[in-house]
Structure formats: structure tokens, C-alpha cells
């Protein structure tokens, strides 16, 4: 089709989200019919994007083609995004000779990186908050169980436990210095008379 060594080449760069001319009018108006293709790196084949005919644009069904238009300065990208980056070639449709070959670089904006870092930071913060909350609940539960176990071992429940709520107007009766009016048989747990 053409000898890549004889085709003029260039490196172009358009920042992400910006617009920019990739092929000037002096090249577009030089020929009747030109075809722009992009190299598919997975198959190493050239994928047709669009064609121009005396400064008029003919889009293909390729979704990337909608991002190109003819401006006062030439073939222009409306909105640069990472998917447009890659190797392109412009050839004469009549004989397939190369007019221009270029690599388009789309530098990612700092704002996008800032948003990504903010999202990762927020996710880490939420995980830490969740972890702290779980740890505090477990610690409270362990403290409550420890306090309850200590109270039971000493023969009383901690204040505020529902089982201990006594009315100050009607204190429990005490006989023989015991907390209960009758003692229990340790073998049967029955009250002794």
C-alpha cells in the first residue's frame, strides 16, 4: 500500500477534554479524497475512521468518527479522551499512498487523577470508620460481659441491671443476716424451711 519510511510522520498531543486540530487544511485541501484510519494494536490492522473530499467530511459507522469535524484550521477533534489515543494514517483513497502518519497522545488531566485519589481516599476513610465502629461495639460488649461476670462472681449484679431493680420503699426482708429469708439446699437448690 505504501512505504512507512517515505510517509511524513508526526507526534501530536491534545489534553484530555480539550479540542485540537490534527490535520491542517493545507493537507486536507491538497487531495480530492483522503481516508483516515487508526491502527488496531490487537490485530495490527488499520481501522477506517472517516474520509474527506475537498474539505468535506464523510463519517463512518465508527463511534470515534463523531469526535472529528472540519474547522477553519483543518480536521479537528471535538473532545479528546483516552480512547482516541493511538497511531493514525491519512492516505489517498485513489492509490492508497500515504499522506501523513501520526501518533496521537491524550494526556490525562490532573483533575481526573485528583478525583480518582479523592474517591480512593473516601473509600479508605469509610472502611476505617466502619472498622472503628465495629471495634468499639465489640469492646463495649466485652466490657459489659466482664462487668456482668465480675458482678455475678461477687454475688451481685451491676447497678442498672433489670434483675436488680429494687424499690427503695419496700426493701427486702433479711433474716439471720442472709439476703434471702430462707437458705437453699446446695444439692437440690430447693429452699430450706
Which pLDDT tens digit goes with each residue over 117-127?
677 878 887 88
In a domain, 189, yes or no: no
Nearest-5° angle of CA 23, CA 25, CA 31? Answer: 95
| Residue 135 covered by a domain | yes
In this structure, are 62 and 80 located in the same domain? yes
Identify whether residues 58 and 137 lie together within a single domain: no
Last residue of a domain, one of 108, 141, 165: 108
pTM higher than 0.75, yes or no? no
Say yes or no: 74 and 152 in one domain: no
Contacts of 63 (CB under 8 A, 6+ apart): none
* 21, part of any domain: yes
**Under 8 Å between Cβ of 31 and 21:** no
pLDDT at 2: 44
For residues 70 and 89, state if they share a domain: yes
Are residue 117 and residue 37 in the same domain, yes or no? no
Degrees to nearest 5, angle at CA 86 with 61 and 109 = 105
Say if residue 86 is in the same domain as residue 123. no
Domain coverage including residue 49: 6-108
- pLDDT at res. 152: 59
Of 108, 126, 143, the residue at which a domain comes to its end is 108
**Residues 149, 75: one domain?**
no
Tens of each residue's pLDDT in the chain, 193 residues: 445 557 889 999 999 999 999 999 888 876 678 999 999 888 889 999 999 887 788 877 788 888 999 888 999 999 999 999 999 999 998 888 999 999 999 998 766 556 666 778 788 878 888 788 887 877 777 777 776 666 555 655 555 555 544 545 555 554 555 444 556 666 666 656 6
Mark whether 123 and 138 lie in a shared domain: yes
pLDDT score for 21:
93
Say if residue 95 is in the same domain as residue 124. Answer: no
- Specify whether 63 is located in the same domain as 145: no
The DSSP symbol for 151 reads: H
Amino acid at each position: 500500500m505504501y512505504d512507512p519510511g517515505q510517509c511524513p510522520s508526526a507526534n501530536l498531543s491534545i489534553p484530555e477534554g480539550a479540542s485540537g486540530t490534527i490535520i491542517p487544511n493545507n493537507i486536507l485541501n491538497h487531495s480530492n479524497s483522503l481516508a483516515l484510519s487508526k491502527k488496531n494494536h490487537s490485530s495490527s490492522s488499520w481501522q477506517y475512521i472517516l474520509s474527506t473530499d475537498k474539505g468535506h467530511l464523510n463519517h463512518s459507522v465508527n463511534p470515534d468518527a463523531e469526535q472529528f469535524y472540519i474547522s477553519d484550521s483543518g480536521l479537528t477533534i471535538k473532545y479528546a479522551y483516552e480512547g482516541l489515543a493511538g497511531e493514525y494514517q491519512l492516505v489517498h483513497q485513489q492509490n492508497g499512498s500515504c499522506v501523513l502518519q501520526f501518533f496521537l497522545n491524550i494526556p490525562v488531566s490532573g483533575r481526573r487523577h485528583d478525583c480518582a485519589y479523592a474517591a480512593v481516599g473516601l473509600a479508605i476513610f469509610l472502611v476505617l470508620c466502619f472498622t472503628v465502629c465495629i471495634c468499639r461495639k465489640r469492646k463495649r460488649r466485652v466490657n459489659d460481659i466482664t462487668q456482668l461476670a465480675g458482678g455475678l462472681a461477687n454475688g451481685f449484679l451491676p447497678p442498672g441491671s433489670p434483675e436488680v431493680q429494687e424499690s427503695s420503699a419496700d426493701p427486702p426482708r433479711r433474716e439471720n443476716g442472709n439476703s434471702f429469708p430462707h437458705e437453699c439446699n446446695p444439692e437440690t437448690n430447693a429452699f430450706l424451711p
